[in-house]
A and B are shown apart, each in its own frame.
Chain A
């Protein structure tokens, strides 16, 4: 511990300086500003673009209008909902852990929900979507709780070690999944699941994603309390918040969002990390006024990535998680390096 002493103080100083830096920037409380309206327009434009792009020529064919209702609208809606869900869960997770580098990919939550899906496939021969979802939600809740409890129990030397440990824990869980998969001959299920793609989304297959609206409403309602919980247990308790209950609620909401997305779409790496970081770089750390921005940016980025994934090797498409993985890792590294300059 002594060896890491300089590291600790260094990092604390860095964090404090970073926080000051962020806080000193402009504080816009008003939501309906010009940039926000522009952002909405941009996201709507992306949505319209997403409706128009695809292998099937909807304008030339007589049944084109049906096609729009069967796949294009569901796909665009799914993109919007998923983008909002993943970026909001990242934001809430970062608040609860007081660590900017935490999100479902870097805490092992995704791997846990994968394990949950696998277990459901094992227990039930042909599970329905609701069953798969329940398994994914249950396991990601357990996994996230375990990680949070671990974080509260152990002493941290540096904020950077949290994502490292989370990813190692994720690797442990995926080793378990691989083992189970090998024993029961189901490695292929894991493999196909692990790349998130919006290609199979069509009417009748994505409706559970609308549950995300419920999560969003709940997060908006509890935004202030979650912000207080983000100040730490002592301060939150002092300010009259039942800390444990709020953390439990936050974790429940995150796991619900991640579980639904995992069961319907698959793994979407880094979205929950880059979106809240970009937003708080410009707007500071108030959850309630940031939430609309986080949702919007998440929708925008995911839709953009999906459009890229659909057009890059036309008329085929690549899973969007690959595009996200490449772009997300670049943005993540830029964020990391930028943080180190802010020292």
Chain B
């Protein structure tokens, strides 16, 4: 399917040529070389952009003893970007593989609605005092656990059993998200204006608001989940062949599906709790990594997605801060481009 869809007639020829046949993931040597070249370029650009974010317009030189305290705030934002990039890119690629659909993203499952509902109901039921004291590590753990728990209930309920159906689960997830949004905005209506202001600041999370005290917890979680996903690359390769083939190749489809979805929801929950909702960023990253990686092998897809994701978020922040000096609209712009890319892919693809 990939070869047929590939717009590269040259690579097709090479693929069918007997001398160039190989058991590697790439159709040809050139493709492999192209992959590594792109990967190195993207990583280098990403590092450059993050260096720019740290150093640009910064009067303190790196070797000065006051360098670290001075750039601490920028460092926090950078680490948050890195975490968001890892979470969003890995989870979107994985999610698209297991759903066999390259048009949907895991943010459809209503994580941000749940996030808003948790915060709003804390304020609504327990008042300002609890709400303010309810921050820091425990609240982070609580949010992540709640989000993962809800998605597990959803998956377990709708994916297993006689009527298990992935798309039904997705749709129910979306609808639950809509319902939760209504509930939380209903509760917000009843809050006093001062309470509402405090809540509002929390709900519009962004890279710059992210709390560094979450990092000691978020980083290990993300690392473990990312490692597990990388370790499951081959399993994902088999799952991408479809349920029947995967089963006949000896993969417990249902079991792998549940496990992988749990990892996806864990990553999404961490990302949402840390930097707030992002809908089309993951989609954009995944789509571009498929373009850059001419293989289905997740061992190659994942690194590329990571590199592109990191470059995109750091590059966008750098450009918007220092070139266009348009702070605050970065995530909106990433979302906008992602959305436009989404429409273009739908129109070109011809299948839903």
Residues of A within 8 A of B (CB): 1-4, 6-7, 101, 105, 150, 153-158, 160-165, 167-169, 171-172, 175-176, 178-179, 182-183, 195, 269-270, 313, 318-319, 321-326, 328-330, 332-333, 336-337, 340-341, 343
Contacts and interface: CB of A to CB of B under 8 A. Distances in A.
A269 B174 CA distance: 13
B350 A175 contact: no
Interface in B127-168: 163, 165, 167-168
B339 A164 contact: no
Nearest to B335: A175
Contact of A182 (B179, B242, B332, B351): B332
Chain A at the B interface: mostly helix, strand, loop or mixed?
A: helix
A292 to B, nearest CB: 28
A6 B244 contact: yes
Nearest to A273: B175
Interface string B51-73: 00000000000000000000000
Contacts of A3: 100, 241-243
A160 B100 contact: no
28 contacts: A1-B1, A153-B350, A154-B351, A154-B352, A156-B351, A156-B352, A160-B167, A162-B352, A164-B108, A168-B342, A169-B346, A171-B339, A172-B340, A172-B343, A182-B328, A182-B332, A195-B185, A269-B178, A270-B178, A313-B190, A318-B190, A323-B182, A325-B181, A329-B179, A330-B179, A337-B172, A340-B168, A343-B163
Contacts of B103: 165, 168
Contacts of B183: 322, 326
B167 A161 contact: yes
Contacts of A165: 103, 346, 352
A269 B179 CA distance: 10
A179 B189 contact: no
B275 to A, nearest CB: 17
A168 to B, nearest CB: 7
A4 B240 CA distance: 11
Contact of B100 (A4, A172, A179, A324): A4
A169 B351 CA distance: 15
Contacts of A341: 163
Interface in B306-338: 328-329, 332-333, 335-336, 338
A158 B175 contact: no
Closest 3 CB pairs of A and B: A325-B182, A329-B179, A172-B339
B182 A340 contact: no
Contacts of B338: 175
A175 B343 CA distance: 12
Given A160-B170, A168-B104, A178-B335, 13 more contacts: A3-B100, A4-B100, A105-B178, A154-B352, A164-B167, A168-B108, A179-B336, A322-B185, A322-B189, A329-B176, A333-B175, A340-B163, A340-B168
B279 interface: yes
A127 B226 CA distance: 52
Contact of A321 (B179, B182, B242): B182
Interface of B: 1, 100-101, 103-104, 108, 163, 165, 167-168, 170-172, 174-176, 178-179, 181-183, 185-186, 189-190, 241-244, 279-280, 328-329, 332-333, 335-336, 338-340, 342-343, 346-347, 349-352
B352 A157 contact: yes
Contacts, number: 134
Contacts of B349: 154
Contacts of B352: 154-157, 161-162, 165
Contacts of B189: 318-319, 322
Nearest to A167: B174
B333 A179 contact: yes
B23 to A, nearest CB: 23
Given A318-B186, A321-B182, A326-B182, A154 B174 contact: no
A101 B335 CA distance: 26
Contacts of B336: 175-176, 179
A42 to B, nearest CB: 25
A3 B328 CA distance: 42
B297 to A, nearest CB: 17
Given A160-B167, A175-B339, A325 B332 contact: no
B107 to A, nearest CB: 9
Contacts of B171: 101, 160, 163-164, 336
A152 to B, nearest CB: 11
Nearest to A4: B100
